Amino acid sequence: MRFVDTNVLLYAVGTDAREEPKRERALAILDQRDLALSVQVLQEFYVQATRPTRSDRITHAQATALIESWLRFRVQETNLEVLRNALVAVAQWNISYWDAAIIEAARSAGCATVLTEDLQHGMDFAGVRIEDPFR
């Protein structure tokens, strides 16, 4: 199982011609079945995709429909275990809470890989490895 971070979802709906290769890659990723994400990722997607200052923002209805479609993947809840483990990860690896929560949600979902461009490609967080799919 691979865990999808918010930036993959955002590239999938982006319309910036300069980021077309990333859009195509994101769409190819989302065609796979071995994926998981978290409630946090879906929340971040909604906030960023519908942000009024975003040049290619989407509507509430569009964002809601996309989120509903992505519920076909395993969705990890943000629970006390994820929270506590993320707090430990912040101190252990000196990363932001939000990045730690992604890593620990991935771990809880049984994922060995997080697909993201937000952390250093190849880093390993005690068995959860970072892969930048846009490199």
In order of start, what are the domains of the chain with their CATH numbers?
Answer: 2-131 (3.40.50.1010)
Position 25 scores a pLDDT of: 98
- 2: CB partners within 8 A, 6+ apart: 32, 34, 35, 36, 111, 112, 113, 114, 115, 131
Position 113 scores a pLDDT of: 98
Residues of the chain short of pLDDT 70, as ranges, are none
Position 94 scores a pLDDT of: 97
